[in-house]
Amino acid sequence: MSHSHAHDHSHAGHSHHQPEHTHGHVSAASAAALRTAFFINLAFTLVEVVGGWWTGSIAVLTDAMHDAGDCLVLGTAWWLQRVAMKGRDAHYSYGYGRYSMLGGWLTSAVLIGGAALMLTFSVPKLWAPELPHADGMIAIALFGLLMNSLAAWKLHGGKTLNERGAYLHLLEDVLGWAAVLVGGIVIRFTGWAIVDPLLSIGISAYILINAIGTLRKGTGILMQETPADVDLQSVRTRLMAIPHVTDLHDQHTWTLDGSFIVHTVHIVVEGVDHRQALAIKSRARDELKALGIHHATIELEWDDEQCDLQHH
């Protein structure tokens, strides 16, 4: 970020106290897009479950389970987008952003259970594969590609973390249905029934890897882990380079929802008057903003002041 851009924010009065401003019409449009994508996905998941049972394809059923997980993601995201429009209140001084991460965390837990369940069905089928209805598989996969592409297109321009997350989930579904389509075509022309359980195992493994990753990230956020993209050594170096700063302590950095980063720090200064102190705070805020920190709380201490927190 250029210095001038960071500088623009620092003197905008109290602008740094506000998390990102969501304008009413943007939030309403986001909620509407998520709602549409949710209903497309929900209707389609029901079609898939029936289709999986009709074709006898465990790969179609596994992808139906994947889509059911995405219904949870989209439904949660839609609800949270509406909640987030409320902004901060007396109960949640930072607003409701973390709920979106919690939604993703809970959905991941559900998907891990679902993928494990599908593996218990698909692995034994490797030894006794049943030939699914290949034409039906191809038809459902084409329908799946169409519906998921439509839902993803609804969200492709999304600005919020919620929308981007939901969009990526739908893109994964597009890939899942492309795999089922290829599998259906292979079975149709070769009669290799084993392709069906192999596809199911592949999709389940993919779901597990992704869901475990999301779960780990979500747990880190809940436990207030320092965000991976914030280099605390750089933060220290930049703040210590400010004239009159002699020391820093009690630096804490965490993220609210995976994108909004919060930082608190005590900066020890010497030999400064009120005007210089304000300049130091303003410069510190610019430096932190340049390092990707959105919301900084800075406490200045004079070098002869005893801080009770220093040794905690």
pLDDT tens per residue across span 89-131: 777 777 776 776 777 787 788 888 888 988 988 898 889 888 8
**CA 271 to CA 273: how far, in whole Å?**
7
Contact indicator for 34, 155 with CB cutoff of 8 Å: yes
**CA 262 to CA 207: how far, in whole Å?**
31
Ranges 163-167, 217-221, 224-228: which has the least confidence: 163-167
Confidence bin at 310 (pLDDT 50/70/90):
low
DSSP-H helix ranges across 223-309: 232-240, 274-290
Distance of CA 97 to the CA centre of its chain: 11
Pick 209 or 15 by higher pLDDT: 209
Q: Is the pLDDT of residue 23 over 60?
A: no
CATH class of segment(s) 227-302: alpha beta
Above pLDDT 70, what percent of the chain? 87
Instruction: Name residue 196's amino acid.
Output: D
Per-residue confidence (pLDDT) for residue 11, from 0 to 100 = 36
- Whole-number average pLDDT of the chain: 81
Confidence bin at 15 (pLDDT 50/70/90):
very low
Q: Work out the number of other CB atoms within 10 angstroms of the CB of residue 148.
A: 27
Confidence bin at 255 (pLDDT 50/70/90):
confident
C-alpha angle 73/74/76, rounded to 5°? Answer: 65
CATH 1.20.1510.10, applies to 15-222: yes
Confidence bin at 8 (pLDDT 50/70/90):
very low
Q: Is the pLDDT of residue 10 over 60?
A: no
Q: Which two tokens stand for residue 136?
A: 């039906």
Instruction: Name residue 303's amino acid.
Output: D
Residue 266 zone, left/alpha/beta (φ > 0; ψ -120 to 50; rest)? beta
**CA 205 to CA 201: how far, in whole Å?**
6
Per-residue confidence (pLDDT) for residue 282, from 0 to 100 = 92
Instruction: Name residue 308's amino acid.
Output: D
Pick 141 or 95 by higher pLDDT: 141
**CA 13 to CA 268: how far, in whole Å?**
24
Q: Which two tokens stand for residue 233?
A: 């050594």
Q: What is the pLDDT of residues 229-240, one digit of tens each?
A: 888 888 899 999
**CA 186 to CA 36: how far, in whole Å?**
34
Q: Work out the number of other CB atoms within 10 angstroms of the CB of residue 209.
A: 11
Per-residue confidence (pLDDT) for residue 162, from 0 to 100 = 66
Pick 233 or 310 by higher pLDDT: 233
Say what the pTM is: 0.69
CA distances from 169 to 11, 79, 107, 155, 291 (A): 39, 17, 12, 11, 29
**CA 29 to CA 33: how far, in whole Å?**
6
Instruction: Name residue 129's amino acid.
Output: P
Q: What is the pLDDT of residues 69-79, one digit of tens each?
A: 888 888 887 88
Confidence bin at 3 (pLDDT 50/70/90):
very low
Confidence bin at 1 (pLDDT 50/70/90):
very low
What residue spans define the domains of the chain?
15-222, 227-302
Confidence bin at 17 (pLDDT 50/70/90):
very low
**CA 100 to CA 247: how far, in whole Å?**
37
Ranges 60-64, 107-111, 191-195: which has the least confidence: 107-111
- Write down the residue that tokens 């698909």 correspond to: 122
Q: Is the pLDDT of residue 24 over 50?
A: no
Per-residue confidence (pLDDT) for residue 312, from 0 to 100 = 45
Per-residue confidence (pLDDT) for residue 184, from 0 to 100 = 92
DSSP-H helix ranges across the chain: 3-10, 24-55, 58-84, 98-125, 134-155, 161-190, 195-222, 232-240, 274-290
Question: What number is the average pLDDT over the span 218-226?
Answer: 84
Task: Give the 3-state secondary structure of residue 123.
Answer: helix
Confidence bin at 159 (pLDDT 50/70/90):
low
Among 122, 130, 110, 33, smallest CA distance to 66 is for 110
Confidence bin at 214 (pLDDT 50/70/90):
confident
